[in-house]
Amino acid sequence: MGAIYILWLRELKRYTRSRVQVVVSLGQPILYLLAFGAGFSPVFRQAGLGSYLQFIAPGIIGMTVLFSSIFNGIAMLWDRQFGFLKETLVAPVSRLEIMIGRTLGGATVAMIQGTLVLIISMLFGFRPHSWAVLPVAFFFVFLVAMVFSALGTAIGSVIKDMQGFQLVMNFMVMPIYFLSGALYPLANLGKVMTVITRLDPLTYGVDGLRGSLISVWHFNPALDATVLAGVACCFLALGAYLFSRIEV
């Protein structure tokens, strides 16, 4: 347990030391809130669907958590390149503990960034339907962060160069985000799109966030939480297996 705590704390220190990273990581969510939240609000309102900012803000929070947690794998590549990963792997600590510590650290950083985006969304005018639902929203943020932090760790375990990781991430991250329903309602989609969106784990995270924050559910809380927890367990198991096979 000590190794898990140390690696978790190291990821937090790595994040808090880089003020530039904190500021830059908030640039894209702010741009989405301005461009989409303000730009499409009149169209969304004319369609009788209310405020688009209210609708899109949970999706932007989900996007931030997705990007931050899955790019946790990049930190592993840096550690591998500069020798820190080798020093960690030869330490008298199980690789499972190392993997869990890194994953929890990446998930915690993602939760912090998601919280910052929630605060910024409120400055833009977003309001949850009840302040009492915030713990439920943070629970879904945690689940999303664990799912994609574990996936980032798994991918970072098998890819050895930065270019390869960036290609894989660009191939995966944008489709995961755009097919999650973060930017549009999931109702009345075609059959193919319906199947694809239901295969996307972020769909259930965004639905959980949107449902808990503005009380608009496409599925239901139990299904969202169950799917995310199940996928998180699968990705953690996959990440643990791939991490255990890393050659020092």
**Domain count along the chain:** 1
Model confidence, pTM = 0.87
| Structure confidence by residue, pLDDT tens digits, 120-132 | 989 888 889 888 8
pLDDT range class, residue 80, cuts 50, 70, 90: confident
| Structure confidence by residue, pLDDT tens digits, 89-121 | 666 667 777 778 778 888 888 888 889 899 998
Whose tokens are 């998930």? That residue is 107
| Structure confidence by residue, pLDDT tens digits, 7-23 | 656 665 665 555 556 66
